Structure 1
């Protein structure tokens, strides 16, 4: 029993250290949930982390595929693969049982597009309990539902939220001002909710930075010490944001253009992009 307790203690220590080293709070939250789910599944099989086999991980993969989308399964398998690498480095297991289990996103290596299941999984990733998560959710919705260009998102100002009677929400965004792509894009209900939630949480910081006027950036950096007038997002920032969430889906090559294409592909069927 003493040996089992010692192994369990080392396992918990490795799990804590593994999660603590993750740079993103969103990654930490998603990976922690994946580890908890696999732990519960193993207990139901009468097994533990240290005696799991590749067959067990593959069975868990099939268990997930019956319940969630393939990209979501890919995220959870990535979490297991990386954690077992940690356990192997500490000599708690001889080999990584998750290493040989292929990604669940079939055909992922042959395709360079963001399909509908991946887009759905991507939009669900941000932690909406935090201001950063609300901001990220808003950016991803503007890319993945409205199909806005990165430059258009960066140039949006608060005065660009305008009335748009042609859509259900009655609101739209005036984008591409001063360019040949200038147009009004109607807000879908989901995008309006994401924007409302973000602006409501960000309001105190905007007031402190005096970044609340019509000319202020619609989506701003979240630093509490943001400069007077607010800090608008940059294209580099958005590319890094998308890549960070793409890595959670085991798709590090994901970029904003892929998400925009997915939005355009769904527009005829779902009306997610409305140019007025």
Structure 2
């Protein structure tokens, strides 16, 4: 009977996720699997679900360590913490055993950078003899030449452009605004597109404010821009599909490689914290080491030993 009561408490928590937290059924099932695995571990050790302490939880995490990636361990720990918060609110336990346990550090992933030759091939691939090619070229030139997030680019309005300063006013994350200067090629591609913008919809009414339009005259979506880059990546014969964010990463890394300072890049990208921008220094150092290993005579000699 006691075991059934605890199973019912676990079931109550899963119902809470679906009914009150509005989690999808699939997510609730994943939580259920993670927590059932934890429950089985406790039964092996003869530990009651409602009497778990930090030591028991650390023992469980130690077992998972080496079997699973840090991201998977972090997910399981988050599910356990959340369950005990629910138990606490209902008075079933006094303390949350996971409250003081640090989440496993996730491996730091470096931004993917597109080689400059691939960027050039991509930017030169759209045809220049029709409105759609001019639009596509302007989109890619701005993603790379301005370091825009894809959603920022899709959200641009005509009134956001300042011809006198050759800048675009961007509404970024958290509603923060910034001015993005556009290079000569990006600005030229944009002006060529603006001359044919009205022809994109082939006579249909167009969105009065949106800078970039689809065939129906509406604002472009981020998904559409992702598919656009995929199409041109294939057209160019690139080995990997270039994502919109990869052009933003490449914009920042290529600036850093050319001697731009980190604070300026932070401003251009719209990062609130310099630590976010510092990831690009890691990429730049990694690229320098790759160049050294490929090109420096000493590196080649070391490799032959």
Q: For CA contacts below 8 A with separation 6 or more, give which structure has more relative contact order.
A: 1
Based on CA coordinates, which of the two structures has the bigger radius of gyration?
Answer: 2
TM bucket normalised to smaller: 0.3 to 0.5
What is the TM-score normalised by the length of structure 1?
Answer: 0.43
What is the TM-score normalised by the length of structure 2?
Answer: 0.39
Q: Which has the higher helix share?
A: 2
